Structure 1
Amino acid sequence: MRETAAEIRLQITKLKAIGNDDTLKGKYVDALQSGADKFRGKLEKSAGRYERVSAQLGKWATELHSLQSTTADALASAKSAQADIHRLVGSVDPQSATAEKTEKELNPSKKEELHRARRDLAAAQRSYHRAVEDYETQSKNIARKIRDIIDDALEDGFWSWVSNIIEQNIEAIKVTLEVIGYIATIAAIAALAITVLAACIAMPALLLTLAPLLLTFGTVASVVSLGMQSLMAATGNGGWGDVGFDILGLLTFKAGGAVARGVEQGATATQRASTQAARRATADAMANSPKRDALMLASSQAKGKYAKRAAKKNLREYEKTLKSTGAAQGLPTPTPMEIAMAGGDAKLAAQWKYAAREQVKRDGDAATQEAAHRTSRAAAQNSGIFIGGTALDLGDKTAGSSDIYPKKWDIKPYSDAKDWNFYNSGMYDFAP
């Protein structure tokens, strides 16, 4: 087994030389070196198995040799003691009549010699049994360790099966994921275009419902891509950079959703604060209006039915002039640019615009100002997330390499970073 491990190590060295050879030229080089690196990683696992099993067998050989020596010594001691007993009593069986009779007739020194021979025989038997017990215990221990060593991913388990399926279809999987990525980007752009155009021209209702469906498709595509990229990276067939990029995309989407909820809550708070400010302003105006006081007095002192009716009408009409303009009940219509800045979310753009209008209307009210500021802050964050996420996606597709079109221009350090992995042989090589 040591010789087999040494031969595997020799082949690993040769494969490593192929993988690091900068003098090779031709279209075959990348595939050859990539295959050499992967195969080398798997051979390293195999060599490690042979080396570890060989080490355990070497340890067992040493222990077995020691136990064999112990039992051999015990056997020699037992035979010597039995020979002495037979010589003294004429039988190795102490219960026989001949042995008992002979033992009674022995002189004291001979009896002592007989007892010593029997003690030596018992000691030899104990030594032998201890050695046999040690043999059974240690053999089981070594066998268990060897089973643990060989119970690894070199066996065809479920994970190995998954890894092999991915490796055998890696090119098709990569192309499929790239196509899905482009479709998701196009879907997001199309959803944005539909929403922005809807603010400019009348569009069929069916087309308007398509926008949220396209966004949902983009999200599902991102989740599928993340799952497959993780599986590929875990089996050594992809890069963890792609996994990180997909996670960043989903986190960006989730963060955008959280910020959008903040805009909605801020707009609601702005409406509530503006309404309360209008009520307070109206109450203050009425409480501090001398003319209203005079009209109320005239209404109470008017004589006759028609005079009272006229006085009350004058009071009501004047009170209308004192009422502060309330908060707008409906959302304003956002412009196409405002919708675009809100990431294609027309409702969010309208809420943003609503808060800004109420902020101007209640210039002197602290509660309305604070709620409107909070809404604008969340909306600005949403715009930043949308613009940043879009730039990140387009930048990745521009700077990264392509499996669909291998000759595509790319920034090689960026592509290499995305393809980076801890290992080449797949996570299943580290499975217990």
Structure 2
Amino acid sequence: MNKMAEHLRSQARALASIGKSDLLKGEYADELVDSTQELSGKLGQTEVRYREVSSHLGSWADELEDIQSRADRALRDAQEAERSARPDSMPGRNSEQQGADSPAGTEDDRTTERAREELEIARQRLSSAEADYHERSENYAGRILGSVDDGLKDSLWDDFTGLVADAEWLDDVANWASWAATVIGIIAIIFPAVGVIALVLTGVVMAINLLQATTGNGSWFDVAMDLGCLKLARSGIKAARTIRSLQSSSRDAAAGIARSSATTRAAQATSRQHKTATRAGRRRGGSSRRLRERARARKLHIEQKNLAIGKNAAQEVRDAPLPRPTFREKMQAIGDESLARQIKDINKWSSAHPNNEFLSRTAVEAERQRRIVRGTWGISTALDFGDKSGDYISQGEYGEMKGRMTTTVGSQW
């Protein structure tokens, strides 16, 4: 603290000399002079605080050393008195030859009594030293509080940054959540449903890193890494949702094709009956009204039946189970079986109708989105493992680099 006070004093003098200089010219000079004078005054106040507290601590250290010496002496005297009171330490004492009423026994009693008195005196000296310790510690604590109770007041922001700096548990939570997100992210390859947990944990890590960076207790590099990973995760999730939408559109298109084809085939198969019913329904002269109505009803029934056949064909396409992917196809979808089945279903309908432009475009887009999913997962995983192993690989230089990206947040006064 003395060294800090000396440093502050020299800096205050340097700033004061800048403020008094006549060499500065221009509008910036007035602003600079005012700023240096104000800061010089603040540094001067801070120097007084450090110097006075250092003096109090120095005096307290001297008194504390004296009190500690008194306590040590009391301990040694008590230990000596305790040894003197032991029967085997008394000269000439033989329990088998001397009785309690012998002269030697009387002398032993007196020795024991003196040892007890000396032990009690040692305890009293220790109690006195302890009482002085508490009294003097409170005295110096009051002096120190008085020295720091000056014109320099910490703002709420100063208190908050200090609170964050002291909260070591934040580092523990961030470290735990980061490793948990990594492990769950790997598990999500097999069980994609847990992927949202990894995303939430990554958000927790980013919130803590952002809090520490804004208060000068953490690196902005960590925040940038978290933002990058979250953006990659968002892109991957968006691509997976796009594939799901493409699969649904592909099914709808295939169902439409199936409906049209089935309806056309049914119409061709019943074209003769349909023509006959149509002619009968239009016939005039020699044909009763009832016969014409029956013919029209047969025509309508044939048309409805053909439409129902087409509708059933479309429904069969929509209800068909998704194809099961091979192991290779599953790995190409980063282990997500649901995603692999959707992609295979899109390719299935595109292959079934190679001349359909919409289905062909859908298959191409699904492949592009699959590459995005793989790319975002691969890059985010590489960044995560690189960050965790950076210090080990670079022998500490990685951590130093991140430290240089920490913004110093000073006092607001």
Shorter-chain TM band: 0.5 to 0.7
Distance 1:378 1:189 in 2: 21
Correspondent of 2:352 among 348, 353, 361 = 361
TM-aligned CA deviation for residue 147 of structure 1: 3.7
Identify the match of residue 146 of structure 1 among 24, 37, 43. 37
User: Any idea what SS the aligned residue of 1:429 has?
Assistant: coil
Query: For residue 216 of structure 1, what is the aligned residue in structure 2?
Result: 196
- Deviation of 1:57 after TM superposition, in Å, equals 4.7
CA shift digits 1:21-59 (9 cap, x unpaired): xxxxxxxxxxxxxxxxxxxxxx7xx97665334422556
Residue in 2 that maps onto 1:250: 230
Cα deviations across residues 197-228 of structure 1 (Å, max 9, x unaligned)?
xxxxxxxxxxxxxx4xx433322221222232
- 1:2-401 alignment runs, 5 A limit: 8=7, 51-57=14-20, 146-147=37-38, 156-168=154-166, 173-194=170-191, 211=193, 214-282=194-262, 289=268, 293-297=271-275, 326=314, 328-330=317-319, 332=322, 334-335=324-325, 337=327, 338=329, 341-343=332-334, 345-397=336-388, 399-401=389-391
User: Which one-letter code corresponds to 1:52 in the other structure?
Assistant: L
Distance in 1 between the 2:32 and 2:157 partners? 28
Aligned residues: 284
Give unpaired runs (5+ residues) of structure 1: 9-42, 63-138, 196-210, 402-409
Answering whether residue 403 of structure 2 is matched by residue 427 of structure 1, we say no
Q: What is the DSSP-based 3-state SS (H/G/I as helix, E as strand, rest coil) of the residue aligned with 2:190?
A: helix
| Partners of 1:425 and 1:374 in 2: CA distance | 42
- Summarize the Cα distance change of 1:148–1:262 in structure 2 as closer, same or farther, 3 Å threshold: farther
- Structure 2 residue matching 1:224: 3-state secondary structure: helix
Matching residue within 405, 408, 412 for 2:394: 412
Report Cα offsets for 1:76-119 as digits up to 9, x if no partner. Answer: xxxxxxxxxxxxxxxxxxxxxxxxxxxxxxxxxxxxxxxxxxxx
State the distance in 2 between where 1:177 and 1:396 align: 13
- Give me the whole-angstrom Cα distance separating, in 2, the residues matched to 1:390 and 1:222: 12
Counterparts in 2 of 1:419 and 1:269: CA distance versus 1, 3 Å = farther
Within 1, Cα distance between the matches of 2:35 and 2:227?
A: 42
SS in 2 for 1:192: coil
Q: 1:55 to 1:263 in 2, by over 3 A?
A: same
Once residues 378 and 359 of structure 1 are traced to their aligned partners in structure 2, the CA distance between those partners, rounded to angstroms, is 16
Q: Separation in 1 of the partners of 2:199 and 2:372?
A: 20
Q: Percent identity?
A: 19
Q: How far apart, in 1, do the equivalents of 2:240 and 2:176 lie?
A: 29
Counterpart code for 1:389: S
The answer for unaligned runs of 5 or more in structure 2 is 25-29, 47-151, 281-286
- The answer as to whether partners of 2:255 and 2:318 remain within 8 angstroms in 1 is no
Query: Structure 2: which amino acid aligns with 1:146?
Result: Q
CA distance in 1, matches of 2:12, 2:207: 31
Q: Per-residue deviation at 1:411?
A: 0.8
- For the 8 Å contact 2:219–2:406, the answer to whether it is kept is no
SS of 2:196's partner is helix
In structure 2, the CA distance between the partners of 1:142 and 1:282, relative to structure 1 (3 Å rule), is same
Cα 1:422–1:58, aligned 2, differ >3 Å: closer, same or farther?
Answer: farther
Alpha-carbon distance change, 165 to 301 in structure 1, aligned in 2, over 3 angstroms:
closer
1:398-429 CA distances to partner (integer Å, 9 max, x unpaired)?
x333xxxxxxxx2117x523542575885213
TM-score (structure 2 length as normaliser): 0.52
- Root-mean-square deviation (CA, aligned residues, Å) is 4.9
Report the Cα offset of residue 255 of structure 1. Answer: 1.0
Q: So what's the TM-score if we normalise by structure 1?
A: 0.50
**Take 1:282 and 1:424, find their aligned partners in 2: how far apart are those partners?**
67
With over 3 angstroms needed to count, the CA separation of the structure-2 counterparts of 1:266 and 1:150, relative to structure 1, is: farther
Instruction: Please report how far the alpha carbon of residue 142 of structure 1 lies from its aligned counterpart in structure 2 after TM superposition.
Output: 6.6
Aligned to 2:98: none
Distance 2:410 2:382 in 1: 38
Q: How far is 1:173 from its partner? A: 4.3
Give, in angstroms, the shift of residue 394 of structure 1: 3.4
Kept in 2: contact 1:263–1:378 (CA 8 A)? yes
Equivalent pair of 2:222/2:402 in contact (CA under 8 Å) = no
CA distance in structure 2 between the aligned counterparts of 1:370 and 1:253, rounded to whole angstroms: 25
